[in-house]
Amino acid sequence: MNRTDRLYALVEHLRACAPRRVSARALAARFEVSVRTIERDLAALQQGGVPIYADVGRAGGYTLDKSRTLPPLNFTPAEAVAVAISLGRAEGSPFSRSARTALQKIVAAMSAADGASARELAGRIRLLAPLEDDEPASVPAVLEEAVSTRRVVRLAYIDKDGTETERDVEPVAFTGGTHAWYLIGWCRLRGDARVFRIDRVRRAALLEETAPERSFEDITETPPNAVVRALEFI
């Protein structure tokens, strides 16, 4: 059994045993690998967002939270690759980190055969990307958390004329399209609603302060030459 198949089987075995704990030694014996290999596999799954928990001690072991996992999915390989293409284009967006973990969960929940076919098909697809990208990798993740938790965020922002300013922003919403993503919020420096292109944010830091509640309708500023519509989530 190769590692990819073993990771899938490991998740399914823990799901079947939950909520009972299973020791690393028992898992190693089942999959005919060393305890160290199983522990590396479990760590990789945890880093990928699979909700696996461990207890230490004689009665300890590993278990999986069924309520936060997907049962085996009937995605076809082509459907899985279509999802991967969409999520792959989320790079640089405020939810790019979540897109990567979502894809890992989808593939882990597919059957071993379909997952292998999807990976083979994905290997025949290439996405074009800019040659240079000087955007700090942490910026989209910080802005995602700012909107999700409604925390005031401090931005180092470069405007269209190349002038850099530091400003505290009360985040309200994201908007974006094919070429750019924007953070919409209340700018305390300007005392008004503003739209910030995410690729012009050089640094972003969360503050401890919770932002006042504002709805999207409270913010009148929108990106130029754009019609804003709600994200369809069905």
Render pLDDT for 186-219 as a digit per residue (tens, 0 to 9).
Answer: 999 999 999 999 989 999 999 999 999 888 777 7
Q: Residue 185: beta bridge partners?
A: 171, 194
Regions of the chain with pLDDT less than 50: 134-137, 234
Specify the pLDDT at position 141: 83
d(CA 227, CA 103): 29
Beta-carbon contacts of 155 under 8 Å, excluding residues fewer than 6 positions away, are 166, 167, 168, 169, 196, 201, 203, 204
Q: At what angle do helices 35-47 and 3-17 cross, to 10 degrees?
A: 80
**What class has domain 138-218?**
mainly beta
- 184: number of Cβ within 10 Å: 23
Q: Phi/psi at 84 (nearest 5 deg)?
A: -60, -40
Q: Looking at domain 3-68, does it have CATH number 1.10.10.10? A: yes
Which tokens hold the place of 129? Answer: 């990307």
Domain boundaries, the chain: 3-68, 77-122, 138-218
Judge whether 64 and 26 are in contact, CB under 8 Å: no
The single residue listed with the structure tokens 């690729």 is: 199
H-type alpha helices, 110-207:
112-122, 138-149
Specify the pLDDT at position 220: 61
d(CA 182, CA 12): 39
Judge whether 185 and 171 are in contact, CB under 8 Å: yes
d(CA 52, CA 108): 13
d(CA 132, CA 208): 33
Specify the pLDDT at position 183: 92
Which tokens hold the place of 230? Answer: 């709600």
User: Fold match between 3-68 and 138-218?
Assistant: no
CA angle 116, 65, 117 (to 5 degrees): 5
